[in-house]
A and B are shown apart, each in its own frame.
Chain A
Amino acid sequence: MRSLSRPAITAVVATASVVVIAACGSSSSNSPSGSTGNTGTAKKGGTVTLVMGTAPDSLDPGFGYTTQAAEPDWLSYTGLVTYARASGTPGGQVIPGLCTGLPTISSGGKVYTCTLRKGLVYSNGKAVKASDFAYTAERAIKIPWGGSGQFITAQIAGATDYSKGKSSSITGITTDDSTGKITIRLNAPYGAFDNVLAFPSLGLIPTGTPLKNLPNNPPPGVGPYMITNIVPNQSFSTVRNPQWSKMNIPGIPAGNVDVNVKISSNVDSNALSVLNNTADVFDWADTIPGSLLPQIQAKASNRYVKKVMNSTYYIFLNVKAKPFSSQLAREAVVTGLNQNAMNRLGSGTLIPGCYFLPPGMVGHPTAPCPYGDPASGGDIAKAKALVKQSGMAGQAVTVWSETRSPRQQWMTYYTAFLNQIGFKATQKVIADANYFSTIGNLKLNPQTGFADWNQDFPNPIDFYLLLQGTAILPTNNENFGQVNDPHINSESNRLGQVPSTQLNSIASDWQNLDQYTAKQAYTAVFGYQTFPAFTSDRISQSYIFSPLYGWDFSSFSLK
């Protein structure tokens, strides 16, 4: 996902508590009981102000790919399936959306079928047709949406031909407007396809919507909310969709309040205004400045919580180039790196860890870390010895880094650390906009540097995509360390085909694989980001914080 910080799972608790909705295709009326939110008694009405530090890339679901876009979009553009309205791990559960039930999977995982509910209408009152789904997918390819290549074109049969202009529609999608039946054929079994269908980008929009990004006036959708009054880079409103309550879709309640979003890049001032109750909600994707934390903890501890989401910050180590082609050299980095220091540079928002899969993800290992407790502050002496032993001492290393804070500071610290343990490291800073396309250029063969990943959906395959040999690409490479390990390749391929709904049955397999990755020291994980959930006194604290999209606007209510 795009790195403006992204959706993730809230999970202080790990994997065990996932509730599996077993029924496939049954018209599920069992709305998942949210772990915190309860909209039954909430006060209706009113408007809340959310302050956002970074503007969304586009509120058009056919283009928007950043967290700031997904946050309002997931409530305004419901797909065939969507996520349970719940905080924590339960919120990562896929539930039926516009379809009457979860898609039935047949032909060995290659065909997904479901039927649209009756009486669905868009926010403009127009009726929803099954063929609109095909149009939505085609539009996402045409614009194109940032995830379309990976999740639509590569997965759905015939989508590649469509994107190349060889066919006028995606042959893998067949729809029947009279019955509402939608059939999707895949190129190969893809376990996370349920999650793909839940992307706001595949939230239905009317056939005939222009095939281009409409950032000023996004198309009508089906959902509890609709987006209006967009002033570019300044503000937009998410208001309750009057059509929604008529449809009465189980598990997806209508909202209580309208949400006005104000965009201001001065995050300090945003945090202060929530603290002083002049704004109501602080956008979770922004970071509360360390200097304000003491004040917030003193005055507003009852309305400030740190949320863990599924994102991993790590240092990639290029296994194809000296010095990190040596496992001992990689172990030295993992052993010696002081995660406490990294955490301070990140204003205390990191949770230490050594595993590539973050704590909220199914498959996050529970075993102790192979190279020392990450919270202990690193063993420099041992790291020095390992470097000496590896024979790579004195090797020149270029550390690649982004410009933005604290990522740059992290890499400045890391550079000094590498020098301390016996390498000759220099830092190279690349403009943020260019960073990932620069280090993703295989010709450059970057040795080491900053990397991060935020989940697209709660399935470990979304992370292991970055460590598969097949992911090594000449440009836009995301396997920065060029890891090509047969064991990882075959295991992640096998596990990736298991449908998301059966994820728990293979949790231990993922755990074993992730422990293997940590043992090989393919990446130097330095923490999992926590995100602030910070509201004004006006907001009831019974809100839902989605593990994927953060704030669930429909759970907001005024006290």
Chain B
Amino acid sequence: MTATASTGTEFSDEFASAGFGEGDQVPAGLGPWRLAWRRLRRNKTALFFGGVFILILVLCLLAPVYSHSVAHISPAAENIAGQGNNCPPTCVSVTGIPIGPTWTSSYFFGADRNGRDVAVRLLYGGRNSLEIGFVATLITMFFAIILGVLSGYFRGILDGVINRALDVIWAFPAVLLGVALGATLAVSGILFLHGTSLLVPAVVIGIVYIPYVAKPIRGQVLVLREREFIDAARQQGLSSWRIMFTEVMPNLASTIIVFVPLILANAILLEAALTYLGAGVQPPNPSWGTMISDGIAQLPAAFHDVLVPGIMLVLTVLSINIFGDGLRDALDPRAKVRIAR
């Protein structure tokens, strides 16, 4: 096992991956899963934060309802120079400072400098941030599993090539990829990707995390392929592909499940970081990252513009992390896949 599956930049994260699951594989079957569920149920903290995450998810999904029925204002509606009636007497001062929280149905969390309702944008922005997180996680898991299994199972030259490719991704600064792709796609776009599309940061983030998952999976497959039941399958004359799908993959299930919340949490964080550096979500799309960096740009005025999306972001990531930690404990108490920074 190598120790290379560590460090990224301060916003791409670390997964110490030493010795994952050696010796005590969880065979596919009902028993261990039920056991895990029982363990998870006992972990009240993890369940609580799992609930918090679901709540945030639901709230964000209900953004249009909130916008339409509670705040009565759309996320793009601007009330700058007092044309708005929701925002008495004005949403933005003459020198450009937005009002703070009103704690009433409209402009609950105040306005941003374009006179838009922060609460409404918080929910819409959350939808975007979470969407990017989920899509990026999907991309990471898909490629990491394929690459990890192939390189671990076939070893040899293929393994070497895949490993070096992973090294390249791993040492390549994510921000650059984001900026370059963003700038390239902003005008023309290729295939399904367009500059303003949320898919751009999602793809960038998805690529960035592949090595962090692929390497541990490879390590686990290296161990698995030497085990008796794989040998037996080989002796029965099953093809390599068949063995990978029916024998190897199911044994990776718990690892994969443990990695999902890890990647999700970090993808959401990385989205915010990329956006702060101008390489993530492109305005005028709201996301927690764009909202925080807009707020930081006008410090020290209107600190609520930083605080509101920031706290929401931290709360979301925190609940995913704690739930993920509980999930890991439940699935495999001795596993050493660890939570990222």
Chain A–chain B contact at Cβ < 8 A: yes
CA distance A141 to B334 in the complex (A): 70
Residue-wise, chain A 415-456 has the 8 Å CB interface mask toward B (1 for contact) of 110010000001111110010001000001000000000000
Contact of B114 among A346, A412, A430 (CB under 8 A): A412
Binds B, one of A176-184, A234-242, A289-297, A473-481: A289-297
Q: Determine if B77 and A416 form an interchain contact, defined as CB atoms under 8 angstroms apart.
A: yes
Q: Please report the C-alpha to C-alpha distance between residue A293 and residue B299 in the assembled complex, in whole angstroms.
A: 13
User: Quick check: A438 and B187 within 8 Å, CB to CB?
Assistant: yes
**Residues of chain B with a CB closer than 8 A to A405's CB:** 294, 297-298
Q: A264 CA to B191 CA in the complex, in Å?
A: 42
Pairwise interchain contact B300-A338, C-beta atoms closer than 8 A = no
Q: In the complex the two chains form, is B81's CB within 8 Å of A344's CB?
A: yes
In the complex, which residues of chain A have a beta carbon less than 8 angstroms from the beta carbon of B127? none
* Interface residue? B248 (CB, 8 A): no
Q: Is A345 an interface residue (CB 8 A)?
A: yes
Q: Tell me the minimal C-beta distance from B73 to chain A in angstroms.
A: 12
Write the chain B residue with the least CB distance to A347.
B96
Question: What mask results when residues 347 to 386 of chain A are scored 1 for a CB within 8 Å of chain B, else 0?
Answer: 1100000000000000000000000000001001000000
Is A304's CB within 8 Å of the partner chain B?
no
A413 interfacial by beta-carbon distance below 8 Å: yes
Interface mask (B280-298 → A, CB under 8 Å = 1, otherwise 0)? 0011100000000010011
Q: Is B310 an interface residue (CB 8 A)?
A: no
**A408 within 8 A of partner (CB):** yes
Residue numbers in A under 8 Å from B233 (CB-CB): none
Whether the pair A291, B301 counts as a contact (CB closer than 8 A) is yes
| B58 on interface, CB distance cutoff 8 Å | no
Asked if A344 and B95 make an inter-chain contact with CB atoms under 8 angstroms apart, the answer reads yes
Partner of B97, one of A291, A380, A434: A291
Instruction: Tell me if A403 is interfacial: C-beta within 8 Å of chain B.
Output: yes
| Inter-chain contact A348/B114, CB cutoff 8 Å | no
Are B183 and A345 within 8 A (Cβ)?
A: no
Residues of B within 8 A of A408 (CB): 283
Task: Tell me if A409 counts as interface (CB < 8 A to partner B).
Answer: yes
CA of A290 to CA of B300 in the docked complex: distance in angstroms? 9
| B306 vs chain A, min Cβ distance (A) | 13
Give Cα A403–Cα B81 distance, bound, in whole angstroms.
23
Tell me which residues across on chain A come within 8 A of B95, comparing CB atoms.
290-291, 293-294, 344, 347-348
Residue of B77, B81, B196, B300 most packed against chain A (CB within 10 A): B81
CA distance A39 to B31 in the complex (A): 92
User: Known: A344-B95, A345-B114, A348-B96. Is A429-B297 also a contact (CB below 8 A)?
Assistant: no
A377–B81 touching, CB < 8 Å: yes
Taking a contact as CB atoms under 8 Å apart, the answer to whether B93 and A344 are in contact is yes
Whether A291 contacts B300 in the complex (CB less than 8 A), given A413-B78, A427-B283, A431-B183, comes out as yes
A340 at the interface (CB under 8 A from B): yes
Contact A345/B187 with A289-B298, A413-B114 known, Cβ cut-off 8 Å: no
How many residues does chain A have at the interface if contact means C-beta atoms less than 8 Å apart?
A: 36
Given A348-B96, A430-B186, do A290 and B301 touch, yes or no (CB 8 Å)? yes
Complex interface residues of chain B between 181 and 200 (CB less than 8 A to chain A): 182-183, 186-187, 195-196
* Contact (Cβ within 8 A) A428 B195: yes
Residue of A nearest to B112 (CB): A409
Min CB distance A122 to B, Å, is: 43
A341 at the binding interface (Cβ < 8 Å):
yes
Query: Cβ of A268 < 8 Å from any Cβ of B?
Result: yes
Q: Does the CB pair A428–B196 fall under 8 Å?
A: yes
Interface size class of B (residues with CB under 8 A): 20 to 34
Residues of B within 8 A of A412 (CB): 78, 114, 283-284
Contact residue among B80, B179, B302 (Cβ-Cβ distance under 8 Å from A344): B80
Interface residue from A341, A419, A430, A434 paired with B80 (Cβ < 8 Å): A341
Cα distance, A523 to B9, chains bound together (Å): 46
Contact present for A340 and B81 (CB under 8 Å): yes
Decide: B97 and A409 in contact? CB cutoff 8 A: no
CB distance from B95 to the nearest CB of A (A): 4
Whether A290 and B284, one on each chain, are in contact in the complex, defined by CB atoms closer than 8 angstroms, is no
Known A-B contacts A291-B301, A341-B80; the reply to A434 vs B196 at CB < 8 A is: no
Q: Which of A268, A338, A341 has the most CB of B within 10 A?
A: A341
A420 vs B232: C-alpha distance when bound (angstroms) = 70
Distance, CA A426 to CA B300, complexed state (A): 30
Q: Are A290 and B97 in contact (CB under 8 A)?
A: yes
Q: In the bound complex, what is the Cα–Cα distance between A434 and B283 (angstroms)? A: 16
Complex Cα gap A289–B92 (Å):
14
Interface: B157 (CB within 8 A): no
Q: Which A residues, 479 to 528, have Cβ-Cβ distances below 8 Å to chain B?
A: none
- A461, B151: Cα distance in complex, Å: 67
Instruction: Give the nearest-CB partner of B78 in chain A.
Output: A416
Closest-CB distance, A550 to chain B (whole angstroms): 22
Shortest C-beta distance, B298 to chain A (Å), equals 7
Q: Does B83 contact A (CB under 8 A)?
A: yes
Residues of A within 8 A of B83 (CB): 338, 380
B196 — nearest CB in chain A belongs to which residue?
A: A428
> What residues of chain B lie closer than 8 Å to A347, measured between beta carbons?
95-96
Q: How far is the CA of A434 from the CA of B183 in the complex (A)?
A: 8
Residues of A within 8 A of B282 (CB): 429
Min CB gap A404→B, angstroms: 9
Assembled-state Cα–Cα distance A430/B278 (Å): 10
B113 interfacial by beta-carbon distance below 8 Å: yes
**29 A-B pairs (CB sep. < 8 Å):** A289-B300, A290-B301, A338-B83, A340-B80, A341-B81, A343-B94, A344-B95, A345-B96, A347-B95, A348-B95, A348-B96, A403-B278, A405-B297, A406-B96, A409-B114, A412-B78, A415-B284, A416-B78, A416-B114, A419-B76, A426-B196, A427-B284, A429-B196, A430-B183, A430-B186, A430-B187, A431-B179, A431-B183, A431-B186
Cβ-closest 5 pairs across A and B: A291-B301, A290-B95, A341-B80, A341-B81, A347-B96
**Interface residue ranges, A against B (CB under 8 Å):** 268, 289-291, 293-294, 338, 340-341, 343-348, 377, 380, 403, 405-406, 408-409, 412-413, 415-416, 419, 426-431, 434, 438, 444
